[in-house]
Amino acid sequence: MAIKGSIEIDRERCKGCLLCIRACPTKVLGVDSEPNSWGYFPSRVIAQEKCIACGNCYDVCPDVAITVYKL
């Protein structure tokens, strides 16, 4: 059975560097169409069901804006 995961992104901490999007092997993340209060376009979860809780997004996030949960 494959490991499933869940991701939470703190929109206010995210500066939109998009490193997490490039690091995700299953293409769970994308760019939000609405800016946060700082004017940045943060990453957002677009395909939660594909998350395998690998933690790559967490590892590359320079703003510590991502939390990964194993389900």
- In the chain, the domains with their CATH numbers are 5-70 (3.30.70.20)
pLDDT computed for residue 58 by the predictor: 98
Residue 1 clears pLDDT 80, i.e. is over it: no
pLDDT computed for residue 49 by the predictor: 96
pLDDT computed for residue 24 by the predictor: 98
For 23-42, the pLDDT digits (tens) are 999 999 999 999 999 999 99
Maximal CA-CA distance, the chain: 41
3-state helix, strand, coil in the chain (%, to 5): 20, 25, 60
